[in-house]
Chains A and B, each alone.
Chain A
Amino acid sequence: QSVLTQPPSVSGAPGQRVTISCTGSSSNIGAGFDVHWYQQLPGTAPKLLIYSNSNRPSGVPDRFSGSKSGTSASLAITGLQAEDEADYYCQSYDSSLSGYVFGTGTKVTVL
Protein backbone atom coordinates (compact mmCIF):
# COMPACT_ATOMS: atom_id res chain seq x y z
CA GLN A 1 0.00 0.00 0.00
CA SER A 2 1.50 3.29 -1.13
CA VAL A 3 1.87 6.18 1.33
CA LEU A 4 1.68 8.76 -1.46
CA THR A 5 -1.81 9.24 -2.89
CA GLN A 6 -2.53 10.35 -6.45
CA PRO A 7 -5.81 10.60 -8.38
CA PRO A 8 -6.30 7.45 -10.50
CA SER A 9 -6.92 9.44 -13.66
CA VAL A 10 -7.02 12.92 -15.16
CA SER A 11 -7.95 13.95 -18.67
CA GLY A 12 -7.88 17.01 -20.87
CA ALA A 13 -8.21 18.17 -24.44
CA PRO A 14 -5.15 18.94 -26.53
CA GLY A 15 -3.69 22.30 -25.55
CA GLN A 16 -5.28 22.32 -22.11
CA ARG A 17 -3.56 22.33 -18.72
CA VAL A 18 -3.88 19.42 -16.32
CA THR A 19 -2.50 18.94 -12.83
CA ILE A 20 -1.75 15.80 -10.82
CA SER A 21 -1.64 15.93 -7.05
CA CYS A 22 0.54 13.81 -4.78
CA THR A 23 -0.51 13.77 -1.12
CA GLY A 24 1.84 12.50 1.54
CA SER A 25 2.36 12.97 5.27
CA SER A 26 4.70 14.31 7.92
CA SER A 27 7.09 11.38 7.50
CA ASN A 28 7.76 11.95 3.80
CA ILE A 29 6.86 15.10 1.84
CA GLY A 30 5.99 17.03 4.99
CA ALA A 31 9.33 16.12 6.54
CA GLY A 32 11.09 18.03 3.80
CA PHE A 33 12.09 15.18 1.53
CA ASP A 34 12.15 16.04 -2.16
CA VAL A 35 9.47 14.88 -4.57
CA HIS A 36 10.31 13.43 -7.97
CA TRP A 37 8.02 12.63 -10.89
CA TYR A 38 8.18 9.89 -13.53
CA GLN A 39 6.41 9.35 -16.84
CA GLN A 40 5.71 5.82 -18.04
CA LEU A 41 4.57 5.56 -21.64
CA PRO A 42 2.61 2.40 -22.52
CA GLY A 43 4.83 -0.67 -22.62
CA THR A 44 8.01 1.16 -21.65
CA ALA A 45 10.17 1.73 -18.58
CA PRO A 46 9.52 4.80 -16.43
CA LYS A 47 11.49 7.94 -17.19
CA LEU A 48 12.46 10.72 -14.78
CA LEU A 49 10.38 13.81 -15.58
CA ILE A 50 10.94 16.17 -12.64
CA TYR A 51 13.55 15.88 -9.88
CA SER A 52 13.90 17.67 -6.57
CA ASN A 53 10.38 19.11 -6.69
CA SER A 54 10.70 21.39 -9.69
CA ASN A 55 13.74 20.62 -11.82
CA ARG A 56 13.62 19.16 -15.31
CA PRO A 57 16.31 16.80 -16.63
CA SER A 58 17.83 17.74 -19.95
CA GLY A 59 15.43 17.04 -22.80
CA VAL A 60 12.19 17.30 -20.81
CA PRO A 61 9.94 19.98 -22.34
CA ASP A 62 9.15 23.02 -20.21
CA ARG A 63 5.45 22.13 -20.57
CA PHE A 64 6.08 19.96 -17.51
CA SER A 65 6.50 21.66 -14.15
CA GLY A 66 6.48 20.59 -10.52
CA SER A 67 5.81 22.20 -7.19
CA LYS A 68 5.67 21.21 -3.53
CA SER A 69 3.92 22.69 -0.52
CA GLY A 70 3.44 21.25 2.95
CA THR A 71 2.62 17.55 2.71
CA SER A 72 1.70 17.65 -0.99
CA ALA A 73 3.21 18.13 -4.41
CA SER A 74 1.82 18.73 -7.88
CA LEU A 75 2.79 18.07 -11.47
CA ALA A 76 1.38 20.38 -14.13
CA ILE A 77 1.28 19.72 -17.85
CA THR A 78 0.49 22.75 -19.98
CA GLY A 79 -0.31 22.64 -23.67
CA LEU A 80 -1.35 18.98 -23.39
CA GLN A 81 -0.30 16.85 -26.36
CA ALA A 82 -1.34 13.38 -27.54
CA GLU A 83 2.15 12.08 -26.74
CA ASP A 84 1.64 12.99 -23.06
CA GLU A 85 -0.84 10.16 -22.67
CA ALA A 86 0.90 7.99 -20.06
CA ASP A 87 1.03 6.97 -16.41
CA TYR A 88 2.65 9.42 -14.02
CA TYR A 89 4.11 8.62 -10.60
CA CYS A 90 5.42 10.79 -7.79
CA GLN A 91 8.16 9.53 -5.45
CA SER A 92 9.78 10.63 -2.21
CA TYR A 93 11.57 9.20 0.82
CA ASP A 94 9.78 8.13 3.99
CA SER A 95 11.61 8.35 7.32
CA SER A 96 9.19 6.00 9.11
CA LEU A 97 9.67 3.29 6.48
CA SER A 98 13.37 4.11 5.98
CA GLY A 99 12.96 3.80 2.26
CA TYR A 100 11.75 5.32 -0.96
CA VAL A 101 8.04 5.46 -1.68
CA PHE A 102 6.12 5.85 -4.92
CA GLY A 103 2.70 7.34 -5.45
CA THR A 104 -0.30 5.27 -6.53
CA GLY A 105 0.02 6.52 -10.11
CA THR A 106 -2.18 8.65 -12.37
CA LYS A 107 -3.24 7.83 -15.90
CA VAL A 108 -3.41 10.91 -18.13
CA THR A 109 -5.80 10.68 -21.06
CA VAL A 110 -5.79 13.17 -23.92
CA LEU A 111 -9.35 13.54 -25.17
Chain B
Amino acid sequence: EVQLVESGGGLVRPGGSLRLSCGASGFTFSNAWMSWVRQAPGKGLEWVGRIKSQTDGGTTDFAAPVKGRFTISRDASKNTLYLQMNSLKTEDTAVYYCTTVSGGSHYYWGQGTLVTVSS
Protein backbone atom coordinates (compact mmCIF):
# COMPACT_ATOMS: atom_id res chain seq x y z
CA GLU B 1 0.00 0.00 0.00
CA VAL B 2 1.35 3.40 -1.01
CA GLN B 3 1.76 5.81 1.90
CA LEU B 4 2.89 9.43 1.88
CA VAL B 5 3.26 11.14 5.25
CA GLU B 6 4.04 14.86 5.41
CA SER B 7 5.54 16.57 8.43
CA GLY B 8 7.25 19.81 9.40
CA GLY B 9 4.37 22.25 9.15
CA GLY B 10 3.75 24.95 11.72
CA LEU B 11 3.66 28.66 12.44
CA VAL B 12 6.43 30.83 10.99
CA ARG B 13 6.96 34.59 10.75
CA PRO B 14 6.93 36.37 7.38
CA GLY B 15 10.42 36.23 5.92
CA GLY B 16 11.20 33.04 7.77
CA SER B 17 12.05 29.54 6.55
CA LEU B 18 10.58 26.08 7.00
CA ARG B 19 11.41 22.62 5.67
CA LEU B 20 8.67 20.09 5.02
CA SER B 21 9.32 16.37 4.77
CA CYS B 22 7.35 13.60 3.09
CA GLY B 23 8.07 10.00 4.02
CA ALA B 24 7.21 7.54 1.25
CA SER B 25 6.55 3.80 1.35
CA GLY B 26 4.85 1.11 -0.68
CA PHE B 27 6.52 1.94 -4.00
CA THR B 28 9.99 2.41 -5.48
CA PHE B 29 10.63 5.98 -4.36
CA SER B 30 13.81 6.43 -6.40
CA ASN B 31 11.91 5.80 -9.64
CA ALA B 32 9.05 8.18 -8.87
CA TRP B 33 8.45 11.73 -9.96
CA MET B 34 7.12 13.70 -6.98
CA SER B 35 5.23 16.96 -6.54
CA TRP B 36 4.13 19.37 -3.85
CA VAL B 37 0.62 20.83 -4.13
CA ARG B 38 -0.84 23.36 -1.71
CA GLN B 39 -4.31 24.55 -0.74
CA ALA B 40 -4.87 27.87 1.02
CA PRO B 41 -7.69 27.89 3.58
CA GLY B 42 -11.04 27.72 1.77
CA LYS B 43 -9.34 27.90 -1.65
CA GLY B 44 -8.53 25.57 -4.51
CA LEU B 45 -5.51 23.43 -5.32
CA GLU B 46 -2.26 25.04 -6.51
CA TRP B 47 0.73 23.14 -7.88
CA VAL B 48 3.94 24.22 -6.13
CA GLY B 49 6.74 22.24 -7.73
CA ARG B 50 7.97 18.88 -8.98
CA ILE B 51 11.15 16.80 -8.93
CA LYS B 52 11.85 14.13 -11.50
CA SER B 53 13.28 10.73 -10.62
CA GLN B 54 17.05 10.40 -10.44
CA THR B 55 17.02 8.27 -13.58
CA ASP B 56 15.23 11.10 -15.40
CA GLY B 57 17.75 13.65 -14.20
CA GLY B 58 16.32 14.64 -10.82
CA THR B 59 15.55 18.13 -12.10
CA THR B 60 13.01 20.46 -10.51
CA ASP B 61 10.37 22.88 -11.76
CA PHE B 62 8.36 25.39 -9.79
CA ALA B 63 5.27 27.53 -10.10
CA ALA B 64 5.92 31.23 -10.62
CA PRO B 65 4.76 32.37 -7.13
CA VAL B 66 7.43 30.26 -5.39
CA LYS B 67 10.25 30.18 -7.93
CA GLY B 68 13.51 31.36 -6.38
CA ARG B 69 12.18 30.92 -2.83
CA PHE B 70 11.33 27.20 -2.65
CA THR B 71 13.51 24.19 -3.44
CA ILE B 72 12.68 20.49 -3.64
CA SER B 73 15.09 17.67 -2.90
CA ARG B 74 14.94 13.95 -2.28
CA ASP B 75 16.91 11.42 -0.24
CA ALA B 76 16.54 7.97 -1.75
CA SER B 77 18.31 6.34 1.20
CA LYS B 78 15.57 7.62 3.50
CA ASN B 79 12.67 7.43 1.01
CA THR B 80 11.99 11.06 1.85
CA LEU B 81 11.01 14.11 -0.18
CA TYR B 82 11.70 17.64 1.06
CA LEU B 83 10.34 21.11 0.41
CA GLN B 84 12.58 23.92 1.62
CA MET B 85 10.65 27.15 1.87
CA ASN B 86 12.51 30.45 2.31
CA SER B 87 11.42 34.10 2.41
CA LEU B 88 7.94 32.98 3.38
CA LYS B 89 5.00 35.30 2.78
CA THR B 90 1.55 35.39 4.35
CA GLU B 91 0.13 34.17 1.04
CA ASP B 92 2.12 30.93 1.42
CA THR B 93 -0.24 29.92 4.24
CA ALA B 94 -1.77 26.62 3.14
CA VAL B 95 -2.00 22.90 3.61
CA TYR B 96 0.90 21.37 1.68
CA TYR B 97 0.40 17.95 0.08
CA CYS B 98 3.07 15.59 -1.19
CA THR B 99 2.04 13.59 -4.27
CA THR B 100 3.40 11.04 -6.70
CA VAL B 101 3.33 12.05 -10.37
CA SER B 102 2.45 9.48 -13.00
CA GLY B 103 1.75 10.28 -16.63
CA GLY B 104 1.07 13.88 -15.66
CA SER B 105 -1.46 13.00 -12.98
CA HIS B 106 -0.99 13.40 -9.24
CA TYR B 107 -1.70 9.78 -8.44
CA TYR B 108 -1.23 9.32 -4.70
CA TRP B 109 -1.57 12.05 -2.05
CA GLY B 110 -0.46 12.41 1.53
CA GLN B 111 -2.72 13.76 4.26
CA GLY B 112 -1.11 17.21 4.14
CA THR B 113 0.65 19.46 6.64
CA LEU B 114 -0.47 22.99 7.54
CA VAL B 115 1.90 25.91 7.17
CA THR B 116 0.82 29.21 8.69
CA VAL B 117 2.80 32.36 7.92
CA SER B 118 1.83 35.10 10.31
CA SER B 119 3.36 37.72 12.56
- The segment from B12-20, B69-77, B78-86, B98-106 found at the interface with A is B98-106
Binary CB contact string for chain A from 77 to 100 against chain B (1 if under 8 A, 0 otherwise): 000000000010101110001111
**Are A45 and B97 closer than 8 Å at their CB atoms?**
yes
B61 within 8 A of A: yes
> How close is A70's CB to chain B, nearest CB, in angstroms?
18
Tally chain A residues at the interface, Cβ within 8 Å: 27
Among B44, B64, B104, contact of A100 (Cβ-Cβ < 8 Å): B104
User: Quick check: A89 and B107 within 8 Å, CB to CB?
Assistant: no
| Complex contact A38–B106 (CB within 8 A) | yes
Q: Is B87 part of the contact surface with A, judged by Cβ < 8 Å?
A: no
Q: Is the interface of B mostly helix, strand, loop or mixed?
A: strand
Are B105 and A52 interface neighbours, CB within 8 A?
yes
Residue in B closest to A45 when the chains form the complex, CB atoms: B109
A89: contacting residue among B44, B50, B63, B97, CB under 8 A: B44
Residues of chain A contacted by B102 (CB below 8 angstroms)? 51
Q: Within B21-52, which residues are at the interface with A (CB < 8 Å)?
A: 35, 37, 44-47, 50
From known contacts A89-B44, A89-B45, A105-B44, infer whether A99 and B62 are also in contact, taking CB-CB under 8 Å.
yes
A binding-site residues for B, Cβ under 8 Å: 2, 33-34, 36, 38, 40, 45-48, 51-52, 57, 87, 89, 91-93, 97-105
What are the 3 closest A-B residue pairs judged by CB atoms, nearest first?
A36-B105, A105-B44, A100-B47
